[in-house]
Amino acid sequence: MLASLTALGWTFMLASILGVTTLTYWCFKRVLFPPHDEPELPGGLGP
Partner 1 sequence: MTNQPTQQWGSRLGVILAVAGSAVGLGNFLRFPGNAAENGGGAFMIPYFLALLIVGIPIGWAEWAIGRYGGRKGFHSAPGILGIWCKGPIGRYAGVLGVLIPLGVYFYYVLIESWCLYYFWKYCTGGIGLEPATDVASVQVPHTRGFFNEVVGAADNGALFHTMHPVLVAFCLTVVCNVWFVYRGLSKGIETVCKYAMPVMAVLGIVILIRVLTLSAPAGTTGQTVVDGLGYLWNPNFEKLSNFKTWVAATGQIFFSLSVGFGVIINYASYMKKKDDVVLSGLTASATNEFFEVVLGGLITVTASVVFVGVLLTSQATGGSMSLGFKTLPMVFAQMPGGNFFGAAFFLILFLAAITSSLSMLQPSKAFFEEALGIDKVKSTTLVTVWGLIGNAFVLYYSKGLTALDTIDFWVGSVFIMVVAAVQIIAFGWIFGLERGIAEAHQGSQLRIPKFFQFVIKYVSPAYLIVIMIGFCLNNAPGYVDTLLGNVTTSPQLSVVSQRDLAAAFPAGSKLTYTWKQLGGEPVTLADAATAKPSFATKEPANAKNFEVPFELTVSDGATTKTFPAKAEVDVESPGSARRTWVFLLLTIAGLVAITAVGARRWKAEGRDLDGKLPAAD
Number of shown-chain residues binding partner 1 (CB under 8 A): 35
How far is the CA of 46 from the CAs of 40, 41, 42, in angstroms? 15, 14, 11
From candidates 31, 33, 36, 37, binder to partner 1 by CB under 8 A: 31
Contact 13, 5 (CB under 8 A): yes
Task: Please tell me whether residue 36 binds partner 1 under the rule CB under 8 A.
Answer: no
Q: By the criterion CB under 8 A, which residues form the site for partner 1?
A: 1-6, 8-13, 15-17, 19-21, 23-24, 27-28, 30-32, 34, 38, 40-47
